[in-house]
Amino acid sequence: MQITNVTSQEGIAPITPEKKGTGRVGKTLKFFLSNPKIVVGVGVVLFFVLIALAAPLLTPYAPDARVVRGLQPSQPPSPAHLFGTTDLGQDVFSQVVYGARVTLLIAFVAAFGSTALQVLFGLTSAYLGGLVDDVLSLIINVGLVLPGLPLTIVLASLASAANVNKNEIVIALVLLFTSWQYGARVLRAQTLSLKEREFVAAARAVGESAWRIIFVEILPNELALVASTFVGTFVYVMGAEIALEFLGLGDPSQASWGSILYWAQNDAALPSGQWWLFVPAGLCIALFCGSLAFINFGIDEIANPRLHIEKPLKKALKSLKKTKEAVA
Amino acid sequence: MSKQQEMARSQDLLALRTGQPVLAARDLRKDFPLHPVSLGGGKRVVQAVENASLALYAGQVTALVGESGSGKTTVARILAGMHAPTRGEINFEGKAVNIKSAREMKRYLRKVQYIFQDPFSSLNSVHSVRHHLSRPLRLHGHAHGAREIEEQSLALLERVNLTPARQFLDKYPHQLSGGQRQRVSIARALAVQPVVLLADEPVSMLDVSIRLDILNLLLKLKEEEGLAFLFITHDIASARYFAEETQVMYAGQMVEGGPSDQVIRQPKHPYTRLLCSAAPDPERSARLAELGEAGEAPGVPERGEPPSLVNPPAGCRFHPRCPHAMEVCRQSFPARTDFGGGHWVRCFLYSQGEEASHR
Amino acid sequence: MEENTRSKQDLLLDVQNVSVVYDSADGEVYAVNDVSFTLRRGEILGLAGESGSGKSTLAYAIARLLRPPARVTGGRVLYYPRARAGENGNGRTDLPASGVDIFAFDKKELRAFRWSELAVVFQSAMNALNPVATFEAQMVDVMRAHRPEMSKEQQRARLVELARLVGIAPERLKSYPHELSGGMRQRAVIAIALALSPEIIIMDEPTTALDVVIQRDILTELMRLRRQLGFAVIFITHDLSLLLEVADEIIIMYAGRMVEKAGRKALYRHPLHPYTDGLLHSFPTLEGPLVRMSGIPGTPPDLREVPPGCVFHPRCSKAWERCLRERPILTSPPNVGIEDVAERRVACHLYGTDSRREQEPALSGQGGEV
């Protein structure tokens, strides 16, 4: 009995069965969350974000309220004051928790804004080429040549000298405008290589406009790089912001992680052994930036499969599962 | 359609052709500038294409055969509007083509579409098949609204034999095989509803056993829809299979052309002869094996390699490798010699005393 | 090389039941499944197959070039070296005369084995050559790594000899890869492969990236060198028509398994396996009548979801219900007037010990379809 299969065309649907959740978004999300480094990093970041948002719920004191009076306003940590109090009798825990709001807000705004500029300028200059590329590259290169932190310090001190209100926004803007050049350069390089790919020529042949090609065809292919430079920008911006505040160029009257350190410095916390004045804030900074670095490592691992290290535990679990299924 | 169907091939191309060509190019020349390596040096150019002329007719395939560096892809890309010719003219349906604005380009692209060689890189891996098909439908106003777009996308997939169409619509390129991706590329080109398809080595990167499927699909499209095809290939045997007319290019110059069977079975130009003898042919080698010689095919002994096009040889560019090269070959590029039935060659072996220069 | 003496003394490589697995997210994928064959001295063995056939993986496994996630899960490869004391001045007396399992080599043995006994020519010469080193430097590098006892003059002499052997002018020795044309680069890679006079050269699609004319050149060169130096070649390609011109013996692979093995002429005249028959009909011809041809319907299978029974059955025009449940084993076909039947192997139920066989004549190989 012969079965003729000749009628089957090459075009028949592939044999691979559909797995659940193969939608692009769902798949990418699952993919990212399968990497432990990313999970840990994102978890820590979310933790701090939640703390910042829930600040009023976590502490009854305002950050600048003097809650301890008397001869020794500066107290080490105690059940009443988890992180102790400052020389002015302010609760350090409240400062840290409320300070998170300021620090994170500035950092987020600067990082997002900077990334937006990176994407816009990097991709456009690479794709359009010619005069546009020359001009934008000039701007980028000038920005790169000028030393970042000193420039930021100068701008910030000008702003504070001019007594501009809303100092946080000023800091965020200053950081934004001095940090986008590097990422733009990186994205430009990547786009230059992608633009030679055939699917870009094919999109042009079909009649797509330049803007659609840049943002709908090319950009999605660079998301890993954009994510990675975003995280890198975030770390840089965070560090630069803390540095500015530490130097007193932020708003010295408002609690933020950097200004906590500034006050600690002014109060000679280190020589006098008042460790609780700077250790909590310092630890928070370190943890936060560390988790950002973790996220970056995770993205690197995903983007470069050769960094995958086969975990013996995972393999053992898999073979265990197999024997269980075989027995069942 | 039985498998034994002998493909009707008129040996007289002139009789086949009624009316004017859909797309015609005359005396195309393309120079690519080279970035000067040394300061003060003059601008160097790669003379990629010289004196190229061809014509595409509705419902017929013209093959352009040559090695890499012969300029065949450049010619196709000029016809597709990706490069502007340095000299020469292009006519579409009789009217001269002169694209100066994005809108004119879009109008031209609506009629002339290009199929890429590499099915793995000509589709954007982050977009689904649906996206790839809906964009041209939308851009050229063939469908409006989600439902029309979906209907037409499904119809396109069925035209290229990707069935069941519904299952393919939401797949991503990495979920498809090479042959399936190439079909999607063809469907995308068809979505524009063109009259000319420029296929640049559409099957070279596919597995051998599915190449014929794709070529047969293109044949079906040609016959059922009267499309005009340009078929770029380095495989002269597939040119014979697929195209009515074959033109041979060498180092940017067109050296021979005519009905495919005639050009391939009775090649006149020494280069065409070289190509035909170099192509693997199990039939021929089996015959030779019986005669006691194995593994080597007769042919032009002096093989060599194509010249650099930055400083191409003067006159006929094949003369450094040609066993029949004469003094005149170094001086000028030969004029056409016609053999009747549309078969022509540019070679001084056949045009005694004629010295036309087309420079 | 038409008469291959079948004696055991001529045996060079004995591949026995080799399997290679890729560890993927979906589990183990068998890229090569239980493949066995022999290679004789001076023989050109062609490994033909399409994507997913496992031909490259198999060759790399033999050369021990596989890296995770690929791993060899079974089989052995016995190598029978020639006692070569005094030959070419490269005395290799440390390898025993009886077969040694390449898979069992330790690092030292592997290093001694590599390049002096087995060399590899990769697909894209541009990728195999170091772009920032001259051709000469790369050759010297190889010699220095494997023959440290050679003096500079000896190296130089060998260099010039090899370049002349493959047809590269001595002036081009100091060129960088990008200064050489495609064909010259491929010759350069072949020259490097020949540097230590190996017994076996594995060539992985050596001419795929080249034009037909250069390809013909390289193949002619290869045949000449083989006649002169007597090495064996494992030639991997998807272009069966090439193998039909140069190979002594051809193995057809599909989805990681061998489906047919035959001599060149015999395969062309009487392909047994329907896949081989289909492949032969997938090449448009330069001569002969123009008929509408079709390739093989369907696509090569996804190795993660291999169909049951015969892996080719979904695409086979001759499949019947036995093919869906039982996997055919590679055996000698019965003698029904087929050429070279003693040396042939095929894995197909049409040629099994089934009564089906009597009803089916041998398929003819030419353009006309039965």
- Nearest CA to B129 out of B164, B98, B101 is that of B164
Residue A67 domain flag: yes
At B7 the pLDDT is 59
Residue A207 to residue B124, Cβ atoms within 8 A: no
Where in chain C are all domains bearing CATH 3.40.50.300? 11-252
Among A62-66, C91-95, C270-274, C363-367, the least confident range? C363-367
At A165 the pLDDT is 56
Please give the Cα distance from A41 to A293 (Å, whole number). Answer: 8
At B269 the pLDDT is 92
Residue A4 to residue C297, Cβ atoms within 8 A: no
| Closest-approach residue (CA) in chain B for A217 | B124
* Position C86 pLDDT exceeds 50: no
B119 contacts chain A (CB < 8 A): no
A24 contacts chain B (CB < 8 A): yes
Residue A19 domain flag: no
pTM: 0.81
Residue B139 to residue A207, Cβ atoms within 8 A: yes
Nearest neighbour of B264 by CB, restricted to C181, C286, C366: C286
Q: Helix A92-128 and helix A36-53: axis angle, to 10°?
A: 120
B97 and B243 in a single domain? The answer is yes
B175 and B94 in a single domain? The answer is no
In sequence order, the 6+-apart residues with CB closer than 8 A to the CB of A6 are C297, C317
Q: Which two tokens stand for residue C304?
A: 């993660």
State which H helix or E strand residue B44 sits in.
Answer: strand B44-56
At C276 the pLDDT is 92
Q: Is the peptide bond before C69 cis (omega within 30 degrees of 0)?
A: yes
Residue A202 to residue B116, Cβ atoms within 8 A: yes
Judging contacts by C-beta atoms under 8 Å, the chain B residues touching residue C291 are: 3-7
At B135 the pLDDT is 93
Domain boundary among the residues B193, B209, B232 is at B193
Residue B3 domain flag: no
A162 contacts chain C (CB < 8 A): no
Identify the bridge partners of residue B115 per DSSP, sorted by sequence position.
Answer: B199
Among B23-37, B334-348, C46-60, C222-236, the least confident range? B23-37
CATH number for the domain including B25?
3.40.50.300
Q: Which two tokens stand for residue C361?
A: 């004549």
**Taking CB atoms and an 8 Å cut-off, how many pairs form between chains B and C?**
153
At A178 the pLDDT is 87
Residue A117 domain flag: yes
B25 and B157 in a single domain? The answer is no
Give the pairing type, strands C232-237 and C257-263: unpaired
The Cα of B103 is separated from the nearest Cα of chain A by a number of Å equal to 9
Residues from C in contact with A at Cβ < 8 Å: 23, 68-69, 295, 297-299, 301-302, 304-305, 307, 313-321, 324
* Position C89 pLDDT exceeds 60: no
CATH number for the domain including A33?
1.10.3720.10
C159 contacts chain B (CB < 8 A): no
Q: With b meaning 16 or more CB within 10 Å and e meaning fewer, what string describes C97-112?
A: eebbebeebeeeeeee
B189 and B201 in a single domain? The answer is no
B214 and B279 in a single domain? The answer is yes
Query: The dihedral of CA C163, C168, C173, C175: what is its sign?
Result: negative
Residue A1 domain flag: no
Which residue type does A296 have?
Answer: N
Q: Which domain does B137 fall in, by range?
A: 126-193
At A2 the pLDDT is 37
| Burial of C320 per CB tally in 10 Å (0-12, 13-18, 19+) | middle
Q: Write out pLDDT tens, residues B48-72.
A: 898 899 999 998 999 999 887 788 9
pLDDT: is C31 or C209 the higher one?
C31
In sequence order, the 6+-apart residues with CB closer than 8 A to the CB of B228 are B21, B22, B23, B56, B57, B58, B59, B60, B195, B196, B197
- Nearest CA to C238 out of C267, C275, C204 is that of C204
At B296 the pLDDT is 47
- Grouping H, G, I as helix, E, B as strand and the rest as coil, residue C46 is strand
Identify the bridge partners of residue B229 per DSSP, sorted by sequence position.
Answer: B61, B197
Please, where are the H alpha helices in B13-81?
13-16, 72-79
Q: Is the peptide bond before A305 cis (omega within 30 degrees of 0)?
A: no
At B9 the pLDDT is 57
A18 contacts chain C (CB < 8 A): no
Domain boundary among the residues B141, B174, B193 is at B193
Q: How confident is the model at residue B79 (pLDDT cuts 50, 70, 90)?
A: very high
Residue A315 domain flag: no
B21 and B153 in a single domain? The answer is no
Whether the Cβ atoms of residue C319 and residue A13 lie closer than 8 Å to each other: no
- Grouping H, G, I as helix, E, B as strand and the rest as coil, residue B258 is strand
Residue A71 domain flag: yes
Whether the Cβ atoms of residue C42 and residue C3 lie closer than 8 Å to each other: no
The ipTM estimated for the assembled molecules is 0.82
Q: Indicate the number of domains in chain A.
A: 1
B238 and B322 in a single domain? The answer is yes
| Burial of B42 per CB tally in 10 Å (0-12, 13-18, 19+) | exposed
Residue A292 domain flag: yes
Residue B41 domain flag: no
At C182 the pLDDT is 75
Judging contacts by C-beta atoms under 8 Å, the chain B residues touching residue C241 are: 280-282
Q: Which two tokens stand for residue A196?
A: 């030679």
pLDDT: is A107 or C285 the higher one?
A107
Q: Write out pLDDT tens, residues C124-163.
A: 776 788 888 888 888 888 888 888 888 888 888 888 888 8
| Tens-level pLDDT at each residue, chain A (328 residues) | 333 333 334 444 333 333 433 455 666 677 667 788 888 999 999 999 998 888 888 888 887 778 777 777 778 888 878 888 888 888 888 889 988 988 999 999 999 999 999 999 999 999 998 899 999 999 999 988 888 778 878 877 787 777 655 667 778 888 888 889 989 999 999 999 999 888 999 999 888 989 999 999 999 988 888 988 999 999 999 988 898 888 888 777 888 899 899 988 888 888 888 888 889 899 999 999 999 999 988 888 777 655 554 444 455 556 666 666 555 5
* Position B297 pLDDT exceeds 60: no
At B14 the pLDDT is 58
Residue B279 domain flag: yes
Q: Which two tokens stand for residue C316?
A: 């086979």
Residue at token pair 């937006």:
A116
Q: Which fold has domain C11-252?
A: Rossmann fold (3.40.50)
At C238 the pLDDT is 87
At A300 the pLDDT is 80
In sequence order, the 6+-apart residues with CB closer than 8 A to the CB of C244 are B280, B282, B285, B286, C250, C264, C267, C268
Chains with ≥3 CB–CB distances under 8 Å to A = B, C
B137 and B96 in a single domain? The answer is no
At B257 the pLDDT is 93
The Cα of C292 is separated from the nearest Cα of chain B by a number of Å equal to 6
Residue A322 domain flag: no
Domain boundary among the residues B164, B193, B222 is at B193
B206 and B330 in a single domain? The answer is yes
B239 and B343 in a single domain? The answer is yes
Q: Which two tokens stand for residue B198?
A: 């420029």
At A163 the pLDDT is 65
- Nearest CA to C103 out of C61, C67, C155 is that of C61
Q: What is the largest CA-CA distance in chain B?
A: 68
Q: Which two tokens stand for residue B125?
A: 């891996």
B104 and B134 in a single domain? The answer is no
Q: Indicate the number of domains in chain B.
A: 2
* Position B18 pLDDT exceeds 60: yes
Please give the Cα distance from C41 to C29 (Å, whole number). Answer: 33
Q: Which domain does A175 fall in, by range?
A: 27-306
Whether the Cβ atoms of residue A85 and residue A67 lie closer than 8 Å to each other: yes
B244 and B344 in a single domain? The answer is yes
B302 contacts chain C (CB < 8 A): no
B34 contacts chain A (CB < 8 A): no
Q: Write out pLDDT tens, residues A261-315.
A: 998 888 888 888 888 888 989 999 999 999 999 998 888 877 765 555 444 445 5
